[in-house]
């Protein structure tokens, strides 16, 4: 499973330029919305396999940073393993524009998103 921090920002393109100047490399950017504007999702790679995702922030969200994992196995296996160890999901598996995901809270209450990305959906 690959760890990915998600940084919610008001201006994805501006933040992308900053993090690229810092030394991260662009791996993926979502298509622009049909109604105009910039990409709402960008993935940047750092050295050693570290990744940072930039996501359009909205005022109602509150959080500006979230921990996310990209699964390297079907989400159903991850969910089964969590259930076998006594953990309950915050949300069930849902279809997303990028693939599928679910959320769960860690023992300290942090909401964590587990993704199964399908990059063909973004092409």
In the chain, what are the domain boundaries? Answer: 2-122
For domain 2-122, give the CATH superfamily: 2,3-Dihydroxybiphenyl 1,2-Dioxygenase, domain 1 (3.10.180.10)
- Give the model's pLDDT for residue 80: 93
How high is the pLDDT of residue 122? 56
Q: Name the residue with higher pLDDT: 30 or 8.
A: 8
3-state secondary structure at position 97: coil
List, in order, residues 6 or more apart from 103 with CB less than 8 Å away: 89, 90, 91, 111, 112, 113, 114
5 band by pLDDT with thresholds 50, 70 and 90: confident
Residue 18: left if φ>0, alpha if ψ -120 to 50, beta else—which one?
alpha
pLDDT at 71 over 70: yes
Q: What pLDDT does residue 32 have?
A: 65
């Amino acid at each position: 499973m690959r760890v990915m921090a998600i940084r919610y920002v008001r201006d994805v393109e501006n933040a992308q330029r900053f993090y690229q100047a810092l030394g991260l490399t662009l791996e993926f950017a979502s298509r622009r919305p049909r109604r105009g504007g910039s990409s709402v999702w960008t993935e940047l790679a750092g050295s050693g396999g570290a990744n940072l995702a930039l996501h359009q922030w909205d005022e109602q969200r509150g959080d500006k940073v979230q921990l996310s994992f990209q699964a390297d196995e079907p989400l159903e296996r991850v969910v089964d393993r969590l259930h076998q160890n006594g953990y309950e999901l915050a949300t069930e598996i849902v279809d997303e524009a990028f693939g599928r995901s679910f959320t769960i809270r860690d023992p300290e209450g942090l909401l964590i998103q587990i993704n199964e990305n399908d990059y063909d959906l973004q092409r």
